[in-house]
Structure 1
């Protein structure tokens, strides 16, 4: 039966990590539920916790379409350290750079209760380690260093994986709005100077162009003010200074626009 996948912010039950003691029909039904849910959601691995079960069961889909059934897993040997970029159905649409063992040796039981051993590296090793986190009531967030955890928490807050840096950069996307504003502002200044050298007929056309330019610049300032605040909230380390900078920059651009409007009113 296809089950609903447990997603953040649902937390593990206090009953998580229960070892399988009876290898009977109820276990086989749980395994089938995990398989059905994996197929329905096009997943290559799933832990029992992710469909709401407290038991220590993991399924991993092999390249040939068969399933590796891991029951009561324990990692008994570890080698090397790697930092892969991971995704998981628990945090849909989000990724993070974690810290994992490069190679592991796993002890587990199959559906018949027979003890098995498995040596894994590469993607299989990473997948097993991630699913074992769920077995013990956790998730890959505990595998993040302080910097990556702050970045990932920002992703959780905004619900997007597009946040790439939790620091305070020196260049923002909103700067492009200011660049366009300044191009229009210079164009308007050139238009005012040119008004002294054109015919009355051309002057009327120039006046309309100047009005459109100033209206466009006003719109850009409004867009800048609101977009800059949205962009600034993605960088928690310097959000307070950014807000002050945004307000100050908007005020300066509006003052320049007001001066241009006054000059245009008297000249044109």
Structure 2
């Protein structure tokens, strides 16, 4: 089922998510709905808080060489923790919760992350480049942060100006 995406400036996005304690059918439904929602909105990642659920749950699905996202390649991460990070890269980021805005953000180029899958199996993954960026972006959501907070004051003001202008056009 496609759920509604919570968008900036909704205060829900500032919520710190809680760890999942039960790996049950309710969690599986949330993960399935998040996949449907992410694909419907053309995203590559989604945190549960972006659909109004304050749990440490995220999904990531990077397009393959044919620019397709396949469910069998989907990363479903419950209670993720970054255990190592190094390097730095700048990447143009966007966000389903901050529609129509992209900006360069600095992140770690290399990370190691530990998490659980939908069945409670412990996993570990080493990531570089775009995948590392996607993990860090989605994990920020779990802590109540948006990528726009990482922008310089000048770029943040540019965002606020564009956002206000867009809101006026919607009225």
Query: TM-score range, shorter-chain basis?
Result: 0.7 to 0.9
Structure in which a larger fraction of residues adopt helix: 1
Q: For each residue in 1:178-237, what CA deviation from the matched residue of structure 2 results, as whole angstroms up to 9, or x when unmatched?
A: xxxxxxxxxxxxxxxxxxxxxxxxxxxxxxxxxxxxxxxxxxxxxxxxxxxxxxxxxxxx
- Match for residue 151 of structure 1 among 142, 145, 158: 158
> Whose relative contact order is higher, 1 or 2, with alpha carbons under 8 Å and at least 6 apart?
2
| Alignment correspondent of 1:95 | 102
Q: For each residue in 1:58-78, what CA deviation from the matched residue of structure 2 results, as whole angstroms up to 9, or x when unmatched?
A: 111243612111111111111
SS in 1 for 2:100: coil
Offset at 1:146? 2.5
| Alignment correspondent of 2:6 | 6
Offset at 1:38? 1.7
TM-score (normalizing by structure 1): 0.56
Structure in which a larger fraction of residues adopt strand: 2
| Alignment correspondent of 1:122 | 129
Offset at 1:15? 5.5
| Runs of 4 or more consecutive aligned structure 1 residues displaced over 6 Å after TM superposition | none
| Alignment correspondent of 2:39 | 39
1:35–1:159 CA distance, 2 compared to 1 (3 A):
same
Is the aligned partner of 1:134 residue 2:137?
Answer: no
Give the distance between the partners of 2:84 and 2:126, measured in 1 at CA: 9
Which ranges in structure 1 are unaligned for 5 or more consecutive residues?
Answer: 161-268
Give the distance between the partners of 2:15 and 2:27, measured in 1 at CA: 17
Is the aligned partner of 1:110 residue 2:117?
Answer: yes
Give the distance between the partners of 2:100 and 2:34, measured in 1 at CA: 21
Offset at 1:151? 2.3
* Aligned length in residues: 160
Alignment of 1:229-244 (within 5 A): none
Larger Cα-atom Rg: 1
TM-score (normalizing by structure 2): 0.86
| Alignment correspondent of 1:58 | 58
